Amino acid sequence: MEHLDFTDKLHELGISFRGNKENEERIIHINTLFGRTHTIKIKDMECEYLEDDKPAYGLSAFDAIIKRAVSMGDKWTYVQNWDDPKELIDILQEKILNRAKDIELMLMAYFLLRKTIK
């Protein structure tokens, strides 16, 4: 789905986003097998492992972030081609829209509860 169609669907759900923190440094922790955690720094849309935290199996920090985001959720996601950004974007859009629906429901429940204590 095109980016504008995607943002329109989010808007229909009452969810909007604005990427105003692209230039801020972010630290992401990715848990791996055997209880290990890798720490990745994202700055100016560039990803790198902190210090010598690169995993032994050679996955780049960028790929680790993408694989973690695609694998999030309640069900296993089949990816036919990990090298196809369009396929990965489609998967992420679907997951984001599903989460947006969950967020919409949680927000509605929140405001319904808030109304009961006024």
Segment 74-111, tens digit of pLDDT? 677 888 888 999 999 999 999 989 888 898 899 889 99
**Residue 31, pLDDT above cutoff 80:** yes
**Residue 52, pLDDT above cutoff 90:** no
Domain residue ranges in the chain: 3-116
Among the listed residues 64, 3, 9, 6, the one whose alpha carbon sits nearest the alpha carbon of residue 33: 64
Average pLDDT, the chain: 85
Distance CA 6, CA 96 (A): 9
- Whether 42 and 25 have beta carbons less than 8 Å apart is answered as yes
**Residue 63, pLDDT above cutoff 80:** yes
Q: What is the pLDDT of residue 6?
A: 85
Confidence class for position 47, pLDDT limits 50, 70, 90:
very high
Q: At 78, list the tokens.
A: 């089949």
The full DSSP string for 52-91 is: T---TT---HHHHHHHHHHH-SSS----S-TT-HHHHHHH
Q: At 26, list the tokens.
A: 């972010």
Q: Is 9 helix (H, G, I), strand (E, B) or coil?
A: helix
